[in-house]
Amino acid sequence: MAKDTFFHKKITLNAKGKLIDLSTPKVMGIINLTPDSFFEGSRNQSVDDALQQAEKMMNGGATFLDLGAYSSRPDADDISVQEELDRLLPAVEVIAGNLPTAVLSIDSFRAKVAEAAINAGAHIINDISGGQLDDEMFATVAKLKVPYILMHMKGNPKTMVQLAEYEDVFNEVFDYFNTRIHKLRQLGVNDVIIDPGFGFAKKPEHGYALLSRLAEFQQLGLPLLAGVSRKKMIYGTLGITADEALNGTTVLNTIALTKGASIVRVHDVKEAVQAVELFSMMNNKG
Which residues are marked as active site? 231, 265
Per DSSP, which regions of the chain are E strands?
12-15, 18-21, 26-32, 64-68, 103-107, 124-127, 148-151, 192-195, 225-226, 263-266
Alpha-carbon span 173 to 274, nearest angstrom: 30
Sequence-distant (≥ 6) Cβ neighbours of residue 76 within 8 angstroms: 36, 70, 157, 158
The amino acid that residue 255 corresponds to is: I
Alpha-carbon span 70 to 67, nearest angstrom: 10
Alpha-carbon span 169 to 174, nearest angstrom: 8
Sequence-distant (≥ 6) Cβ neighbours of residue 190 within 8 angstroms: 14, 145
